[in-house]
Amino acid sequence: MNAQLVDVMKIDIEGHEQEALSPASAGRFFGSSPRVNALLTEFSPWVAQSVGLQPLDYLKQLSAWGLNCTPALSFDRVLNAATTHEQFDLTCLAN
């Protein structure tokens, strides 16, 4: 499947964005390399861990797709999010 360019995509599914955008799930819609100019998504490390996912894998996957992500929180809070049960917004732009 040849994915067409998507200008802006927003995903908000209460902390389960990592599951929805996993290679197994997203591959059905995007193929191996989605073409997205901007992605607005939530990131919830504690939800990811609760379903057996590694939170940093999500950020690595978005980076592999050519997206540079910036959290709406300070990086100190991001690093503690797995223990504080916070979720936060990410703005990801194509490199």
pLDDT for residue 89: 87
Task: Kindly state the average pLDDT of the residues 3-8.
Answer: 78
More confident residue, 80 or 7: 7
Residues in the chain: 95
| pLDDT tens readout for residues 11-52 | 888 878 888 887 777 666 666 666 788 999 988 888 888 888
Nearest CA among 47, 55, 41, 39 for reference residue 16? 47
Question: What is this structure's pTM?
Answer: 0.76
d(CA 76, CA 65) in angstroms, rounded, equals 25
pLDDT for residue 92: 92
